[in-house]
């Protein structure tokens, strides 16, 4: 009995450790690499590019329509009880569904114009279902506020695992088409929403926060969250227009690989957000500087590994038709550390209630990426899109550091950073700063 109790204690410790988030984020990031070879081989580069553009729109649109609700919920959940706030979110979400569908119609008509009728219908369905992603982000904010790391891991893994299962089923049945994949993406989003309802278990009935104060608080973060998400998704939508569906498919693979180190960024931000939100002044600046240093330090290792493996693995996994993605991926990996740092820096700005500055930092980098893509893309194809993205990530990093008012000296690594990184990822807290 003692041995069994010890085993349960150890399992419980692992589940409640933030390291479970690192593992889960790795699953989340790797799941596209599991399904992408199948999708790529079945749909080809052009189909892969169209899917990436549609899926990016299904991620970006709800974040824009959510108007900063998830970040407002996160701040409230980090400082008090979240039940009343989440009930107010329940009231708002149904009204956003027709808006999301209308946005889908516009994108299908004027941006992703190469979709066939069945794919267009599946995409518009997915846009309507994507409102569930707002709810999922709000549920995740509640769990982060409560530091329920095991529940966070389960919620984050639901959508990618469900999508992977749907793609695998379609491949087995010989039905893996673009409409099938888009419908699977929509269904997996709804399943994730239901998982969030189960994990938070907050009934819609009961005291509810007033909508007007919540709206004011959310709007303060709306631009920041939309800009952050747009920085990661809009280039994949724009690429279809700037470089064509074929090269956009190669570029999508590169972005997927370059995003893998963000696993660490999500883990570090989840652990340090609450401490950063509760601190002020010099202590807050020390926490922000530490978060950026340990993020950069830990992200370098997977970037180096991926750079060595990319020339061999991409043609092997995706097929010879995607060999052109190798050079594009290597370019994107040059900016992967900046991409990871940007996420953590943006969360530190949110913790400091500097949503406007976060928005500005993200929009400056995004603007450079989009503008450069239309300049470099027509001449260099996917490589031009990659260079444009890296330039935008770098500019966002510089702007975020300035917004956090950090000095160059505060970002210099010291001997204790490696130990701090290990403590944050494995134990869910930081040593005294």
Tens-digit pLDDT profile for residues 244-295: 888 888 888 888 888 888 878 877 887 777 777 777 777 778 888 888 888 8
Largest CA distance in the chain: 69
> Is residue 2 pLDDT above 70, yes or no?
no
Q: Pick the range with the lowest mean pLDDT from 14-28, 184-198, 340-354, 358-372.
A: 14-28
Which range, 39-43, 323-327, 346-350, is most confident? 323-327
Percent of the chain with pLDDT over 70: 87
Q: Give residue 374's pLDDT.
A: 92
Cα separation, 239 vs 123, whole angstroms? 18
Mean pLDDT, rounded, for 146-173: 85
End-to-end alpha carbon distance in the chain:
41
Decide if pLDDT at 83 tops 90: no
What does the pLDDT read at residue 221?
65
Average the pLDDT over each of 28-32, 182-186, 319-323, 387-391 and give the range with the smallest value: 28-32
Mean pLDDT, to the nearest integer, of 199-222? 80
pLDDT at 8: 42
Place of tokens 């996994």: 317
State how far the Cα of 159 lies from the Cα of 161, in Å rounded to an integer. Answer: 6
- How far is it, in rounded angstroms, from Cα 409 to Cα 309? 34
**Which residues, including other chains, have CB under 8 Å from residue 412's CB and lie 6 or more apart?**
293
Each residue's pLDDT tens digit, 217-255: 777 666 666 776 777 778 888 888 888 888 888 888 888
b vs e for 190-224, b when ≥16 Cβ sit within 10 Å of the residue's Cβ? bbbbebbbebbebeeeeebbeeeebbebbebbbbb
202 CB-near residues (< 8 Å, 6+ apart) = 82, 83, 86, 87, 142
Both tokens assigned to 323: 């060999």
124 and 403 Cβ atoms separated by less than 8 Å:
no
Indicate the domain borders of the chain. 2-427
Structure tokens, 411? 């970002």
pLDDT of residue 427: 63
Using CA atoms, how far apart are residues 57 and 285, in angstroms rounded to an integer? Answer: 35
d(CA 147, CA 292): 21
Q: E strands within 1-105?
A: none
Q: Comparing C-alpha atoms, which of 305, 307, 327, 325 is closest to residue 315?
A: 325
């Amino acid at each position: 009995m003692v041995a069994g109790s010890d085993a349960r204690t150890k399992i419980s410790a692992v589940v409640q450790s933030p390291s479970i988030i690192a593992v889960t984020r790795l699953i989340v990031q790797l799941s596209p690499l599991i399904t992408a070879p199948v999708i790529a081989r079945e749909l080809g580069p052009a189909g892969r590019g169209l899917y990436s553009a549609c899926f990016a729109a299904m991620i970006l649109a709800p974040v824009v329509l959510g108007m900063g609700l998830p970040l407002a919920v996160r701040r409230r959940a980090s400082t008090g009880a979240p039940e009343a706030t989440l009930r107010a979110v329940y009231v708002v979400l149904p009204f956003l569904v027709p808006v999301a569908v209308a946005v889908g119609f516009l994108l299908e008509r004027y941006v992703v114009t190469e979709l066939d009728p069945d794919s267009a219908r599946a995409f518009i369905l997915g846009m309507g279902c994507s409102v569930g992603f707002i709810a999922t982000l709000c549920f995740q904010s509640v769990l982060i506020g409560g530091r329920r790391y095991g529940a966070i891991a389960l919620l984050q893994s639901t959508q990618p695992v469900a999508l992977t299962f749907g793609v695998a089923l379609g491949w087995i049945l010989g039905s893996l088409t673009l409409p099938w994949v888009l419908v699977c993406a929509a269904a997996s989003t709804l399943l994730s929403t239901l998982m969030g309802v189960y994990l938070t278990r907050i009934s819609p009935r009961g005291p509810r926060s007033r909508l007007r104060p919540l709206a004011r608080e959310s709007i303060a973060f709306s631009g920041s969250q939309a800009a952050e998400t747009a920085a990661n998704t809009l280039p994949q939508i724009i690429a279809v227009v700037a470089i064509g569906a074929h090269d956009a498919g190669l570029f999508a693979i590169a972005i997927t690989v370059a995003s893998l180190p963000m696993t660490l960024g999500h883990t570090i931000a989840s652990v340090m957000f609450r401490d950063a939100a509760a601190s002020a002044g010099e202590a807050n600046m020390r926490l922000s500087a530490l978060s950026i240093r340990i993020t950069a330090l830990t992200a370098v290792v997977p970037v180096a590994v991926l750079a060595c493996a990319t020339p061999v693995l991409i043609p092997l996994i995706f097929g010879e038709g995607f060999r052109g993605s190798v050079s594009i991926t290597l370019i994107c990996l040059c900016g992967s550390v900046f991409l990871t740092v940007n996420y953590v820096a943006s969360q530190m700005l949110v913790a400091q209630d500097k949503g406007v500055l976060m928005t500005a930092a993200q929009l400056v980098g995004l603007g450079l990426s989009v503008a450069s893509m239309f300049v470099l893309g027509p001449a260099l194809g996917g490589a031009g899109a990659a260079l444009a993205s890296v330039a935008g990530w770098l500019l966002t990093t510089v702007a975020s550091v300035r917004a956090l008012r950090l000095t160059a000296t505060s970002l210099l690594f010291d001997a204790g950073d490696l130990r701090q990184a290990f403590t944050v990822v494995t134990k869910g807290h930081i040593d005294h700063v």
